Amino acid sequence: MPLEAPARIVGELTSRGYNAEREAVTRLAGASDPGAALERVLEAVPEDALVVRTEHVEAALSADAPAADAAPAETAAVPDGDSTPSVSTGTNPDPGDEPAGATPVETGGSTPADRSVDPAKRALEIVGDMTGQSTGTGEYEDFVSVFRDRLDRLGGKLKGRVNHRPATAIQDMPGGSEVAMVGLVNDIRSTASGHWLIELEDATGTFPWLVMKDRDYVDLVDELLCDEVLAMEGTLADDSGIAFVDSLHFPDVPRTHEPSTADRHVQAALISDVHVGSQEFMADAWNAFADWLHTAEAEHVEYLLLAGDMVEGVGVYPDQDEELDIVDIYEQYEAFSEHLKKIPGDIEIVMIPGNHDAVRLAEPQPGFDEELREIMSAHDPRIVSNPSMVTLEGVSVLMYHGVSLDEVIAELPEDKASYDDPHKAMYHLLKKRHVAPQFGGHTRLAPEEEDYLVIDEVPDIFHTGHVHKLGFGKYHDVLAINSGCWQAQTDFQKSVNIDPDAGFAPIVDLDTLDVTVQKFS
Ligand code: D5M
Ligand code: FE
Ligand code: ZN
């Protein structure tokens, strides 16, 4: 049980209001009497310290190391729980196991040189965060401007590829002309004879395009969503009232995209959907994850990205209250914060909200408000909007909770997007260069002057969650990862046969973009 000692030490420290650096915990766990060592360290840390650092442990342990090393026999007497030096935390139901941490053989702390976390080498930059930038009032004009911005920016990526004309100009051209247009998909209909009619809209008006059922491009029609931006080329009918599609272009990720990588071996854990406050929240799996982060095996994990649904929330779905463990939303965040404190204090955390979180539901969702930030402040996470772009040592990560994935999966055929392969649904968002193309369905949109949901810059990593399924893969060299969750199957999920991937943490090597998955359930 090599993980027990670190877990208890962290629990004890958090219950006394401290965070700890990972190596500090490792060294405490490596002491022959961790309980006594912890007391000595706490006596020695500066009054105002919030984080127990390696140097605090070093200083306190070096002062009387011989005594600690000489005392292993006595530690067996500790577990009665009454004596102050014990690290037993009321949360451990079996204090009789306590001295396990005193067994010197399992100490990562005996080889502390293995752990070399140097925060000075880190570089974390937030490049896209719309928190505090919201200007939308929900008026009609805002919808006009958000769609205009979408068309301008995504259309801009397509305009060099086709010789496009405005909708109104196309209808004035002679029948039989070669024409091209860039626009938003306004409508998709099948005709009586099995062809497809796609109406494109630009700033001047709309124009209908016909995809014939025997053309190659017909395969692409089933992956189109309303409101996405496309370019079409084709031939104008004799009466100039419609054009026959010859080719169809998505804004897409250029095939020449070359991802950036970190200059050193450093890793990031990408997770989401913790759902603290739900009866199905898997505390044991979470604790095992936190414990693992304290081990030497995880020493290169220096970043933790959380893609939304920190808590279960209240009133998110009908009858959800029947499965709540904590009914007050603030208490849910307080409990979540306690779980966050178990993560090594030296790991940089970035988090965005999801549809269960206490921010506006419509996307883009600004980062948590001051009150919630305060509740979650102990670990000092970076709290940004959904979506946001962050850069970790040069590797750009687009974080998006993923509500639109439900829609992509519902609208596209099974082989193109499914809950079993959530990353393939993500590929379509990359291809459309928009995290939530379709307006008016499941995904709610808060219209802003700017369309923050456009994927303007190609990310190196695209990280989503929400569907509670783990999947990852590469699309044109962009690593798409949908993290699983920390919530066991809910009644609703059972009723619709969703079998969640719970208790997994995908870990990305930022120097190679390779992924390994750690399982904690
Ligand atoms: O959603 C987790 C997944 O389950 C996501 O694919 C939506 C789906 N889900 C869960 N509960 C419901 C209800 N009640 N209606 C429709 N879809 C649901 P999350 O939002 O993370 O709980
Ligand atoms: Fe969720
Ligand atoms: Zn969700």
> What is the CA 436 to chain-centroid distance, rounded?
15
Q: Is the CB of 433 under 6 A from ligand 1?
A: no
CB distance 107 to 97 below 8 Å: no
User: Which tokens hold the place of 371?
Assistant: 């009150």
Instruction: Give me the half-sphere count of Cα atoms (radius 13 Å) on the Cβ side of residue 466.
Output: 25
Instruction: Give me the half-sphere count of Cα atoms (radius 13 Å) on the Cβ side of residue 284.
Output: 4
Q: Is the pTM higher than 0.95?
A: no
Instruction: Give me the half-sphere count of Cα atoms (radius 13 Å) on the Cβ side of residue 186.
Output: 14
Closest-CA residue to 28 (of 44, 17, 49):
44
Give the SS3 label for residue 357.
coil
* In the chain, domain spans: 6-116, 140-249, 261-519
Provide the β-strand partners of residue 245: 234
Ligand 1 midpoint to CA 317 (Å)? 8
Q: Which segments of 164-313 does DSSP mark as H helices, in order?
A: 167-170, 218-221, 283-293
Residue 63: what pLDDT?
A: 65
In the chain, the N- to C-terminal Cα span, in Å, equals 16
Distances (CA, A) of 215 to 196, 197, 345: 11, 13, 58
CB distance 235 to 178 below 8 Å: yes
Residue 183: what pLDDT?
A: 98
Cis peptide before 459 (omega within 30 of 0): no
Residue 82: what pLDDT?
A: 33
Supply the residue whose CA is at minimum distance from atom 9 of ligand 1: 493
Q: Give the number of whichever ligand sits closest to the CA of residue 418.
A: 1
Which CATH number is 140-249 given?
Answer: 2.40.50.140
User: What is the rounded CA–CA span in Å between residue 308 and residue 352?
Assistant: 5
Domain 261-519 has CATH 3.60.21.50: yes
Give the SS3 label for residue 15.
helix
Segments of the chain with pLDDT less than 50: 1-3, 65-115
* Mutate which of 404, 419, 468, 469 for ligand 1 pocket (most atoms within 8 A of beta carbon): 468
Cis peptide before 364 (omega within 30 of 0): yes
Inter-axis angle of helices 283-293 and 4-15, nearest 10: 100
* Mutate which of 276, 279, 317, 324 for ligand 1 pocket (most atoms within 8 A of beta carbon): 317
Ligand 1 midpoint to CA 323 (Å)? 14
Inter-axis angle of helices 22-30 and 34-44, nearest 10: 130
Residue 162: what pLDDT?
A: 95
Q: Is the CB of 330 under 6 A from ligand 1?
A: no
Supply the residue whose CA is at minimum distance from atom 14 of ligand 1: 317
Q: Is the CB of 389 under 6 A from ligand 1?
A: no
Q: Is the CB of 468 under 6 A from ligand 1?
A: yes
